[in-house]
Amino acid sequence: MNPDELLKLAKQLVDQGAKQGVTLRLLGSLAIRDHIQEPGGILDLLERVPTQDIDFMGYSDEQAQSNRMFTSLGYEIDPSVAYSLEYGVQRLIYHQREEQIMAEIFLDQLRMSHTLDFRGRLELDYPTISLVDLLLSKLQIQKITEKDIKDLIALLVEHELGTDGREVVDVSYLRKVFSDDWGFYYTAITNLNALQQWVGRYEVIDTSTRHNIKIKVDELIRHIEAEPKSLHWKLRAAIGTRIRWYDEVGNVYDVHR
């Protein structure tokens, strides 16, 4: 499937979930693509092609409904769904063999390099998670890749920073998240600085657009730095990078892609 066909399928699954009591919201590059006004737009300009995987956020108390829905649609449950005594079931995985599609549902929290809690936040937008949550889901990546940088560029090119509206990045929530978590703050600031460096490398982006992205990144950093930090944040900041400040993804999920 091309990206637009994959996005169409993903949105159909979200709609089907709404009919069957399964709360699903899109994550990742497909979610960002859904928020771009011009079909494909800058993601296609940057040659950002998603995989055949569709990532969702969902709620853990809807697992049974999810299983019924996906199996009724011809998907097979992956037997290697990660489970730990500490965290329980963290995600569900379904395969559609004919189209070679993998649908993955992260439950309640996105536990990667840093943890994002989505309980009570999936109702903020439809069919994707909110823009600020999309931004945070990229900024939490400790070993950020070029494809993630391209996603961040696309998100910032198309959207303004503010406090209200579906197509606005909610900086008030962003500030709150980073005010109590030094580790996440450090990773995010590192990634934003890396983004500033990467933007200048893409000649397909015109000079005015590159300048606009850099202004938004500077504004994001100012917002993050300006928010008063908690005592917990300050105590962890004093330790700094002498102790690992992020989770090893392999320790959270049995990654098998």
Question: What is residue 103's DSSP assignment?
Answer: E
Q: Which residue has the tokens 């329980």?
A: 88
Q: Taking the complete model, does pTM exceed 0.85, yes or no? A: yes
Q: What pLDDT, in 10s, does the model give residues 9-50?
A: 999 999 999 999 999 999 999 999 999 877 668 899 999 987
Q: How far apart are CA 105 and CA 33, in angstroms?
A: 19
Q: What's the per-residue H, E or C state across 15-32?
A: HHHHHCCCCCEECHHHHH
- Give the residue, 136 or 89, on which the prediction is more confident: 136
Mean pLDDT on 176-193:
98
Q: Average the pLDDT over 167-174 and give the result.
A: 96
pLDDT of residue 252: 41
Summarised one tens digit per residue, pLDDT across range 152-161 is 999 999 899 9
Per DSSP bridges, beta strands 53-58 and 101-107 are parallel
Separation of alpha carbons 167 and 131, rounded Å: 7
In which band, very low, low, confident or very high, does the pLDDT at 1 lie, cut at 50, 70 and 90? confident
Q: What is the mean pLDDT of the chain?
A: 91
Burial call 54-70: b when 16+ CB within 10 Å, e when fewer = bbbbbbbebbebbeebb
